[in-house]
Chains A and B, each alone.
Chain A
Amino acid sequence: MAGRWQWFHRLGSPKWFYEKTTRWLPWLWGAMALFLTVGLVWALLFLPEDYQQGHTSRILVVHVAVAGASLSFFPLMAVAGAVTLVWRMKLADMVARNAAPLGAWFSFLTLATGSIWGSVSWGTWWEWTDSRLVSMLFQFFLLLGVISLRAAIENTETAARACALLSIVGCINVVVIKYSVDWWNTLHQPSSPISMEVGSPNGPEFWVATVVMIVAVYLFLTVSLILATRNEILQRESKARWVRELALEAR
């Protein structure tokens, strides 16, 4: 147990996580605010009109960033789930548990923004025969499924194991979402190849703005997930001495 494994057990300690994130959070908040401001100002004011889409290309900066990040939830929950199953690390399960509702938000926003963009560019809000749209809707329902499964099982550890398994299986759907546009030729276009030439379709003025927004969205995901996990630590460890002391210090 001692020696080389000590770091691993420290990593699994909710108290360790809480103290580390107390130090990280100000930096993460700052970086998130910076990238979000640059991304929003760029997308809303400086992004040139697309030669086909006009001003609706401003929607895609948000849509692509949120959609891309929404695909990270099942892999994240699967890795956390595997750690829960193999090492019974409670912290990993707390992260997985709080990732599910956030992932549902991400999936919903992906569907909504895509739909609002499609209503102009495709002339339709929804298309049941499109594999990308339907597989993304399926991810949204799968995440609601993980949340309900957790709520339905009373024993905390049994619930954690069941959710871990469902998360690992759910990763298959992420692969389907990712390659749906290549495997089946339907309405949703594959991602556009990036160009280094300013003024060309998907030139740097488009994709660099999108990259900035992707970084901003991932930072937001991290901050929100850390905040939710810290809340759960405070609740589940409420009898621990360090949590009591923290509550007394807080005003």
Chain B
Amino acid sequence: MLDGIQFNSLGEFLSMGGYAFNVWSVYALFAIFLIANLALPLRKRRRILREQQRRLAAGAGREDAGATDRAGWEVSQESAP
């Protein structure tokens, strides 16, 4: 199985036959793209839940619900029928 590896040494792997910049910059961009679009929503989720907990602790649970129509869409006060 390991015979299938195309490189004989780590140096050869890193140099990518002279195209190290092209190959590695693509894989670096791909890694940033993957990590950013998974880590950022997870971090935002923790922030949302923390804010919720703070608001609930501050007694904001008593405030009345925002204006929504039957389908649950937010309605601003001016445009509400």
Query: Footprint of B on A, CB under 8 Å?
Result: 36, 40, 44-49, 54-56, 58-59, 62-63, 66, 88-90, 102, 105, 109, 112-113, 116-117, 119-120, 154-157, 220, 223-224, 227-228, 230-231, 234-236, 238-239, 243-244, 246-248, 250
Q: List 10 A-B contacts (CB under 8 A).
A: A45-B4, A59-B23, A62-B26, A89-B71, A105-B33, A112-B26, A112-B29, A234-B49, A236-B74, A250-B53
Q: Looking at chain B's contact residues, is the secondary structure mostly helix, strand, loop, or mixed? A: helix
A56–B37 CA distance with the chains assembled, in angstroms: 26
Contact partner of A247 (CB less than 8 A), chosen from B27, B44, B52, is B52
Instruction: Let me know if A228 and B41 touch, CB within 8 A.
Output: yes
CB atoms of B6 and A46 under 8 A apart:
yes
Q: Are B27 and A44 in contact (CB under 8 A)?
A: yes
When chains A and B are docked, how far (Å) is the Cα of A89 from the Cα of B73? 9
Q: Total interface residues on B, using CB and 8 Å?
A: 40
What chain A residues lie within 8 Å of B19 (beta carbons)? Answer: 54-56, 120
Looking at chain A's contact residues, the main secondary structure is helix
Q: Chain A residues with Cβ under 8 A from B58's Cβ?
A: none
- Chain B residues whose CB sits within 8 angstroms of the CB of A223 once the complex forms: 38
Neighbouring A residues of B45 by C-beta, 8 Å: 227, 230-231, 234
Given the complex, which residues of B lie within 8 Å of A113, measured CB to CB?
A: 26, 29-30
Smallest Cβ distance from B28 to chain A, in angstroms? 10
A243 with B71: CB separation less than 8 A:
no
In the complex, what's the smallest C-beta–C-beta distance from B70 to chain A, in angstroms? 9
Please, which residue of chain B has its CB at the minimum distance from the CB of A154? Answer: B76
Q: CB < 8 Å: which of B23, B33, B55, B56 contacts A56?
A: B23
CA distance A239 to B27 in the complex (A): 42
CB distance from A55 to the nearest CB of B (A): 4
- In whole Å, how far is A230's beta carbon from the nearest beta carbon of chain B? 7
Identify which of residues 63-81 in chain B touch chain A, using a CB-to-CB cut-off of 8 Å: 65-66, 71-74, 76, 79
Contact of A105 with B37 at beta-carbon distance under 8 Å, contacts A47-B6, A154-B76, A234-B49 already known: yes
Q: Are B26 and A90 in contact (CB under 8 A)?
A: no
The answer to whether B38 and A224 have CB atoms under 8 Å apart is: yes
Q: List the B side residues contacting A117 at CB < 8 Å.
A: 22, 26
Within 1-50 of B, Cβ neighbours of A (below 8 Å) are at 4-7, 13, 16-19, 22-23, 25-27, 29-30, 33-34, 36-38, 41-42, 44-45, 48-49
Cβ of B49 and Cβ of A250 under 8 Å apart? yes
